A = this chain, B = another copy of it.
Amino acid sequence: MNAAMYTQADKRTDLETLIGYIRPGDCLAIGGGLSSREPMAALRALIRAGTGDLELIGSAHGIDVDLLCGAGLVAASAESYVGFEQDFGMAPNYRRACEAGAVAVRDSCCYTLVQQLRAAIAGLPFMPIRSVKGSGFLDLHPEFKTLECPYTGDELILVPALRPDIAILHAQYGDAHGNLHIAGPPVADRLFARAAKKVIATVEQIVSTEELQRLGVTVPYFYVAAVAEVAYGAHPTACYPFYGYDRPHTAHYHTCASAGAGRFEDEYLHRFVHGCPDHAAYLAAIGGSATLERLASWKDGPDAWMKLYE
């Protein structure tokens, strides 16, 4: 209750200042989903800042959660899915951290999450849901309660409000005021923005408020505490229409992560996160303009687009 409104005229900042809004121990909702529109540059900056002990919530995620697990910043995960689909399969760092007990496993399920976020959005202590019964999630979540419905006599599950301390989103466009335009599937980003105590965002481009109005505002400014312009901020996930998914880089990531914690540290984290003082250095490390041009080639038509997945 009583969540703040963010109304200052100019919320532009740099990536490091942006990341400073995240505090150790925060419950963090990461926007995007699977291989699209993950705030990867911000997460790399978070790793460099070393802000840990995080509790993650979300629906279907992949390299974002896996990377934070690999960097040791995660204390608990209440995601619904963390993996690389049929593309590369399981999430190696996530799996290792869960199995080692470093990450508390509090798996959830998409609609359960939606209902819990909706409770926070509407200032309610809980939301009812029917579709958890018969599953193991009730054991994983002792905070869920049951209610005999006073209308039907049926048993309903009550799931408590889930209010992330912070939602971190990557959008295609933003303005100085903090309005965000998300192109393509919003995944849970709008829910996160409304439920969280605050939103921080990276965007591919900051444009004028007039231009953003023309594009359409997906997340109104007053939810957003700060915004940083970070082109290619979702790499190696996709941020259309600017660039597609970097499958070779992700394959390399998955190979390193699968090879064990030590090799992931040496061969991936050192090279692409700790070894890159800033985002510009990262872009050079991933292959610079040749890589970026390749990822923009999806626009050349289906044949070029298909090549990105070979």
Binding site for B on A (CB under 8 A): 123-130, 145, 147, 149-152, 154, 156, 158, 160
Q: How far is the CA of A129 from the CA of B130 in the complex (A)?
A: 18
What separation, in Å, do the CA atoms of A49 and B158 have in the docked complex?
46
| Known contacts A126-B128, A130-B123: A150-B154 contact under CB 8 Å | no
18 A/B residue pairs, CB under 8 Å, sorted by A: A123-B130, A124-B128, A124-B130, A125-B128, A125-B151, A125-B152, A125-B156, A126-B128, A126-B149, A126-B150, A126-B151, A128-B128, A145-B150, A145-B151, A147-B150, A150-B158, A151-B158, A151-B160
Q: Chain B contacts of A158 at CB under 8 A?
A: 150-151
Query: Distance (Å) between the CB of A232 and the closest chain B CB?
Result: 28
Q: Give bound CA distance, A152 to B129, whole Å.
A: 18
Name the distance in Å between A226's Cβ and chain B's nearest Cβ: 30
Neighbouring B residues of A152 by C-beta, 8 Å:
125
Q: Which 3 A-B pairs have the closest CB atoms?
A: A125-B151, A125-B152, A145-B150
- Whole-angstrom distance between the alpha carbons of A98 and B156 in the complex? 38
Q: Which of A123, A124, A152, A154 has the most CB of B within 10 A?
A: A124
Question: A147: nearest residue on chain B (CB-CB)?
Answer: B150
Chain B residues within 8 Å of A151, by CB = 125-126, 145, 158, 160
- Assembled-state Cα–Cα distance A68/B123 (Å): 37
A129, A151, A152, A156 pick with most chain B CB within 10 angstroms: A151
> Nearest residue in B to A151 (C-beta to C-beta)?
B125
Give the Cβ gap from A115 to chain B, nearest Cβ, in Å: 8
A147: B residues at CB distance < 8 A: 147, 150
A72 to chain B minimum Cβ distance, whole angstroms, is 33
Contacts of A150 in B (CB 8 A): 126, 145, 147, 158
Residues of B within 8 A of A145 (CB): 150-151
A154 touches B125 (CB 8 A): yes
Q: Besides A125-B156, A128-B128, A147-B150, 19 other CB < 8 A contacts?
A: A123-B130, A124-B128, A124-B129, A124-B130, A124-B156, A125-B128, A125-B149, A125-B151, A125-B154, A126-B128, A126-B149, A126-B150, A126-B151, A127-B128, A145-B151, A147-B147, A150-B158, A151-B158, A151-B160
Q: In the complex, A154 Cα to B1 Cα: how many Å?
A: 14
A126 proximity list for chain B (CB < 8 A): 128, 149-151
Q: How far is the CA of A128 from the CA of B122 in the complex (A)?
A: 10
Cα-based distance from A123 to B158 in the complex (angstroms)? 15
Contacts of A127 in B (CB 8 A): 128
Residues on B with beta carbons closer than 8 Å to the beta carbon of A156: 124-125
CB distance from A184 to the nearest CB of B (A): 13
Smallest Cβ distance from A110 to chain B, in angstroms?
A: 14
Q: How far is the CB of A48 from chain B (nearest CB, A)?
A: 38
